[in-house]
A and B are shown apart, each in its own frame.
Chain A
Amino acid sequence: MAGHGESHVHPVSLYTRTLWWLMALLVATVVAGYIPNVPNWLGVVIALTIAVWKATIVIMNFMHVRYSGKLAWLFAGAGFFWLLIMLAFAFADYVSRPWEPFNGWPE
């Protein structure tokens, strides 16, 4: 990683390759959506895996995090940690709702 204040020369080919990867993954997402007889949970796993893959190469290449200092990594990581907080608390609600009795609490 380059240090603070240093610039990194990025070849155009890096951006071109990234673009093609994104296009390929876009096609993969659409194709995955039309595969017959795939269970719902597996479809979600496939879609999310492709999405995380796409996000990673955008963050690393287009957003230059790969070539940035530790502070930029820290802030990028904080973004994901905050996403985790949001998902964890929101899903905790969904998971714990079936624990409640359907017809009210017993006397």
Chain B
Amino acid sequence: MTTTTYTGTDKPNYLNWKTSVASWLLTYDHKRIAILYLVSISIFFLLGGLAAAMIRMELATPKGDLLTSDVYNKMFTTHGVIMIFLFLIPSIPAVFGNFLLPLMIGARDVAFPRLNLLSWYFFMAGAACVLIALFRGGIDTGWTFYTPYSSSFAKGEVSLAIVGVFLAGFASIFTGINFLVTIHKMRAPGMTWFRLPLFVWAMYATSLIQVLGTPVVAITLLLVAVERTFRIGIFDPNLGGDPILYQHLFWFYSHPAVYIMILPAMGVISEVISAFSKRRVFGYHFVAFSSLAIAIIGFLVWGHHMFSTGQSIYAGIVFSFLTWIVAIPSAIKTFNWMATIWKGRVHWDTPMLYALGFMGLFVIGGLTGLHLAAMATNVHLTDTYFIVAHFHYVMVGGAIMGYLAALHFWWPKMTGRMYPEGWGKLAALLVFVGFNLTFFPQFILGYMGMPRRYHSYPEEWATLNVLSTAGSSVLGLGYLLPVIYLTWSLKYGKVVTERNPWGARGLEWELVDTPPDPHNFERTPIVTRPAYDYNHPEEPTGFVPKPRPVVVGGKDG
């Protein structure tokens, strides 16, 4: 390791230099805004998790004996809307992107700090609308808001929920614009594109999707609200509209939205695997460009959600082919991570366990995606539990594993406290085992034909459903443990004063205090080495230039 500077606990940092409520709610500091997002989305995660628990409890028995079918419909809608729009999409970008991007590129803040704060307020306003809609009787459209049901038939506060998603969408756009400009314009001297950490590349690709895709779904959902409110025919055939047009517009964003969730997690995995294998990421350039490839090709595959909904079979063939292509950059990443670990000095700390969990689960999620990309198998499997299992392997096994890896990896940097490592490892194990117990049986159930979104099912599927529900209780415990021990560590965790407790490479570890100074760097750093240069541990990645001496007196006075 290169730098181990003890900064002392009493030194002003971004957490303690101002402590009033107003100083938090009106802050322009990217690190504090990250914490605001962290607290908000953690609450939404627990709410979404509660809805998931209700779903699994209902499905523990074949009969619909806990929830009526109406309430069950509202419950899976609640789960989907909260988890996707209020947790997964903002999770890594808004929390770790905000916290780390300026630190990683050697900047003092993001390009537009006020826009950054406005983004959080838009997000919270959107979340408030969604929650009010859910608590005022709930909505039962599913998170996809498919028309014409959502626009003409569904009861409840559908329009209010749509306004909420619209506002949260703009929060996402603001974050994306901010990151794009920050990465283009605010890199420190010497921080060339190919010296950027791969997390930054991943955030760049994610931001492109946020900026190019989110406006489409925002306006599409607004059109649903317009049709619902003013009966202007856009998607409802009875009014002269076309429901398949809705699906085109919705999935044009909502498929790339999966990459908004997974790409940042992939960036995290690159950082964690490199740090805990003590090796430069194998095939750095390929991993960087594969992020861009996923972002671009990801926009060309949305029709695979519509193979069985009336889309032309010829369009289906094209979308099927393109969907197979998008697997290639994902595979490039996975093979390069494996090559990074190969012959590395692997440290089995908690973040690494989550990263390895990510790799296993994401591969299963990705490969089952290929089953669904094939039109013939898709027709058999569509709207079954196979789909549910597939996207949970990607979005929970992938994105949330990446999120937890990030949370544990950067926790000491963010808080100045270390969590109990033993509990961390136990939680990682419980999450991995619980996740597989919950969702692997659903692949089999889906293959056997069990449809999704029903609250009762025939007796012959009971065993696998009981297994899934039992697994979900293990998974729930695995998620609850970090909530408890991370909160505990804020007061009782071991104080971390050194900058680089993991011995990792990167500006945020080598040049930034723990917890970071309110202004990140004393002066703008100068970057002298590529990212992940573990082969030259004696050479720091960059340095902060000393202030020029002030000359007093002399010829000019």
Give chain A's interface residues, CB within 8 Å of chain B: 4, 71, 75, 78-79, 82, 85-86, 89-90, 92-97, 99-100
Contact = CB atoms under 8 A, between A and B. Distances in A.
Chain A to chain B: the 7 pairs with minimum beta-carbon distance, closest first: A93-B315, A96-B314, A96-B312, A97-B312, A90-B248, A82-B212, A93-B312
Interface in B227-247: 244-245
A99 B311 CA distance: 12
Contacts of B319: 89
Contacts of A86: 216, 248-249, 252
Greatest chain B CB density within 10 A among A71, A93, A94 is at A93
B180 interface: yes
A75 B245 contact: no
B212 A93 contact: no
A85 B315 contact: no
29 contacts: A4-B185, A79-B211, A82-B212, A82-B213, A82-B299, A85-B299, A85-B300, A86-B216, A86-B248, A86-B249, A89-B248, A89-B300, A89-B302, A89-B315, A89-B318, A89-B319, A90-B252, A92-B312, A92-B315, A92-B318, A93-B248, A93-B303, A93-B311, A93-B315, A97-B311, A99-B312, A99-B314, A100-B312, A100-B314
A94 B248 CA distance: 11
Contacts of A82: 212-213, 299
A89 B247 CA distance: 13
B364 to A, nearest CB: 29
B313 interface: yes
B491 interface: no
Contacts of B212: 78-79, 82
A40 B494 CA distance: 72
Given A95-B312, A96-B313, A100-B313, 20 more contacts: A71-B184, A75-B180, A78-B212, A82-B213, A86-B216, A86-B248, A86-B249, A89-B300, A89-B302, A90-B249, A93-B244, A93-B248, A93-B303, A93-B311, A93-B312, A94-B312, A96-B312, A96-B314, A96-B315, A97-B312
Contacts of B311: 93, 97
A18 B297 CA distance: 37
A89 B312 CA distance: 11
A77 to B, nearest CB: 12
- Interface magnitude class on chain B: 20 to 34
Nearest to A99: B314
Interface string B188-214: 000000000000000000000001110
A66 to B, nearest CB: 19
Contacts of A99: 312, 314
Nearest to A94: B312
A93 to B, nearest CB: 4
A80 to B, nearest CB: 10
B314 A90 contact: no
Contacts of A71: 184
Contacts of B249: 86, 90
A99 B313 CA distance: 9
Greatest chain A CB density within 10 A among B245, B249, B314 is at B314
A86 B311 CA distance: 15
Contacts of A96: 312-315
Contacts of B245: 90
Nearest to A93: B315
Contacts of B300: 85, 89
Contacts of A93: 244, 248, 303, 311-312, 315
A75 B180 CA distance: 10
Interface in B300-343: 300, 302-303, 311-315, 318-319
B108 to A, nearest CB: 17
Contacts of B213: 82
A93 B245 CA distance: 10
A81 to B, nearest CB: 9
Contacts of A90: 245, 248-249, 252
Nearest to B313: A100
Contacts of B244: 93
Interface string B237-272: 000000011001100100000000000000000000
Interface string B120-140: 000000000000000000000
Contacts of B302: 89
